Structure 1
Amino acid sequence: MTIDRSSMTALKVTLIGFAALASAMGVGRFAFTPLLPLMQAHAGLSLRQGAWLAGANYIGYLVGAMLCSMRVPATRHAVRYGLVAVALLTLGMGVTGRYDVWLVLRFGAGVASAYVLVGVSAWALPALAGHDRSVWSGWLFAGVGVGISLAGLLVLLAGARGYPPAASWLALGLASTAVAAIAWAPMRAAGASAAASAATQHAGRLSTDDWRLVLCYGTFGFGYIIPATFLPAMARDVIPDPAVFGWVWPVFGATAALSTVAVALGSSRMKSRRVWAIGQLVMAAGVLVPVLWPGIAALLVAAVCVGGTFVAMTVAGLQEARRIAGVNAARLMAAMTAAFALGQLAGPIVVALAATNGTRHAAGPSLLAVALLLAGAWALWRSPD
């Protein structure tokens, strides 16, 4: 593929992709997580309702990923319109208090965030490779963790000051609006090279190894989603003060951001498939610890173990897809993202079905998550590099 170096430098690609992922994933996907305990306190939201709201977002993410896998979108459209949708749908969460509307808004945000993730990955990874800056992918995907951390800090501050959840939704929506505005023109300029890349792709059947990656990515989706959705709510059950339990999510995001940079810097020493397998083992330990030793310390350990692996595993998985699929990488990435979305959709649904009072119901789903993560790690470790 030919990269237009004059119109889009490696630094510009990294910064735009970083900001896009911070908005799409940190806000469109995960802003609900730190806001869940505040919505429980201020809006009377039950844990079961919270689980279905999370599930609506994951259904949307699944739908978006499946649409991308069936018809690979033009990256400029996927990123630009996806970012605009994330901004508008997030603002909508702050202007209505109707639960049925929230379900629709969170579904739409899931669809939009899937388009942005697939679009950014399909555009930015080959663009950086064309500039001989593949190692910068760590900084690119650090946007996910930074977005999560900044959203968590904003919600932490709002909760400590007693602001209602609507204020946080509006602030996050305005931040996402700014990102969409900043990325609009550069992504339009990036359209020519992105379209040329898309034209070289063709529909092909996934190989056995492709399907191995798809299935393992699905176990990853189920494995991480319970702590990724319910860590702050679990912490609130232990310590009700938002100035304390609210720190769990920023820690999660900060470790996610740092891990991607570390993985990218060490990518020359270990193959991405090995990084992915080891990440699943560490994540399994993080999911298991709060089940065995409930308490705020265990939840912080879980935040570090899960937050420190889930974005790094995303990077490793997408890099592996690009390595083995070549010009069909975008299609394999979309199929993996769809499997991931299906796995993470199952998580909140299992939690909702198991919900009674409090969050102890998470023990059973958490143990299932551990088993799936270990199975995925074994399959990756034994598979050909």
Structure 2
Amino acid sequence: MNKHASSPWRPVAVAGLCALLIGIGLGRFSYVALLPLMIDAHWAAPGGAAQIAAANLIGYLLGALVAHRLALMLGTARVVRVAMVAILLSFIACAFNFGLAWFWGWRFVAGISGALLMILAAPYLLSQLPVAQRGKAAGIMFSGVGWGIVLSGFAAPVFGAEHLALAWSALAAMIGLCVAVSWKRYDKPLAAAPAHAPAAQGKMLPRGALLALLVAYALDAIGYLPHTVFWVEYLVHGLGKPVSAGGAFWVVFGVGAALGPPVCGLIADRIGFRATVIGCLALKGASVALPLLSTSTLALFASSLLVGALTPGMGAVVSGRVIELEGVGGHQRNWALLTFFYSLLQAIGGHAMATLYASTHSFTSLFAIGASALGLAAVVASLGPKHGKTAGLAT
């Protein structure tokens, strides 16, 4: 048994919540609420503000590529600490308007660091707990994504475009608090933590149902982009709603993101991971398309809540589907493969959508592309057997 297995699970879970709140909830998603403020404050043109958003996605891709190697070289705990501090510094830096390249570079740093926290923090912390405590601890950890979104949804409208520097600073203060709360939980190197385990040897060549899942998950990375990059911008500048309303809908998105993973997990326990993945992708596609059909308050609320819930919720059920197909032994390398392709399509799709928006200033095409990608993903995910280990990987 790991020498830290007897540690109380709640402080460990809170440390993981803080890491994901820093890396994804604020480090990644707070910019959705800040994007229209960047434009209104004349800190960036619409096209430039969108490119700043794409910088974070590109950084996330690079972070996903180097996370495992950095953990082997420096130790997981040290990498997690450096990543948290790097995101804190990026928010402090973004409180100063030194031009597009300045923002692009710091959002790129935040993207790299967010990927490191997403990939490394939870496995490191969960390895300190007995198996019986890991499920409830993981649920609390991943809710950090949603609560970070909620915080940014409240903070951005309070300061507004006239005090944009204060908005960045307030978010930096929240990150600093989370760093302080969780810092001591990353002071114990683990000799044989799962995050340090070497990858299995051999070439990874997905086939059958695993290949279908990989493609579907990569398409999900495109489908969710309209909401996770342009949602508040659409509400404020597309529909003419006040910044406070945009922030309120972003809070709804965050509440959904906090509640989504445990709800999706309960559903998967009842109907299986394959059916849950297919159903979640189909529902998410319909939710992304909803603004194309109606811009009523109810429709926008439902779209915010459901896409929010199914953003981190998809990661949970897709990971479970990988275990269902390849077993526990094949989970680590296959999940790493899916995460890489998700990051790749996210970065490519984010850059393409930012370019499209900069040239057309049309939101309709963005929602149509996202909904279509998710609909196709649901079809692709339905391919393959329901249960059991398939041919999977050739090694």
Structures share fold, TM-score greater than 0.5: yes
Please give the alpha-carbon distance, in whole angstroms, between the structure 2 residues aligned to 1:245 and 1:121.
31
Residues 1-385 of structure 1 aligned to structure 2 (within 5 Å): 2-6=1-5, 8-68=7-67, 73=72, 74-124=75-125, 130-159=131-160, 163-189=162-188, 191-192=189-190, 195=193, 198-199=196-197, 201-206=199-204, 207-208=206-207, 209-237=209-237, 238-294=239-295, 296-321=297-322, 324=326, 326-327=328-329, 329-355=331-357, 359=361, 361-384=362-385, 385=387
Quote the offset at 1:336 in angstroms. 2.1
The residue number in structure 1 matching 2:391 is none
Instruction: State whether residues 155 and 168 of structure 1, in contact with CA within 8 Å, keep that contact through their aligned partners in structure 2.
Output: yes
| Structure 1 residue 118 displacement after superposition | 0.4
CA RMSD, 1 decimal: 2.6
Q: 1:150 to 1:358 in 2, by over 3 A?
A: farther
Aligned partner letter, 2:372: A
Deviations 1:159-178 (A, max 9, x none): 2xx65221111111122122
User: Counterpart of 1:268 in 2: which secondary structure?
Assistant: helix
Task: Report the Cα distance in structure 2 between the residues aligned to 1:9 and 1:205, rounded to whole angstroms.
Answer: 40
Structure 1: 5+ residue runs without aligned partners?
none
What letter matches 1:89 in structure 2?
S
Q: Distance in 1 between matches of 2:372 and 2:382?
A: 16
For residue 149 of structure 1, report the CA deviation from its aligned partner. 0.9
Distance 2:216 2:354 in 1: 24
In structure 2, the CA distance between the partners of 1:146 and 1:246, relative to structure 1 (3 Å rule), is: same
* Superposition deviation, residue 272 in structure 1: 3.0
Please tell me the residue identity of whatever aligns with 1:145: G
List runs of 5+ in structure 2 lacking aligned partners: 388-395
Given the two structures, how large is their TM-score scaled by the length of structure 1?
A: 0.89
| TM-fit CA distance, 1:9 | 3.2
Partners of 1:85 and 1:50 lie apart in 2 by: 21
The sequence identity of aligned pairs, in percent, is: 24
Q: Note the C-alpha offset of 1:295.
A: 5.2
Distance 1:107 1:270, change over 3 A: same
SS at match of 1:326: coil
CA contact (8 A) 1:274 1:380 kept: no
**One-letter amino acid of the counterpart of residue 34, structure 2:** L
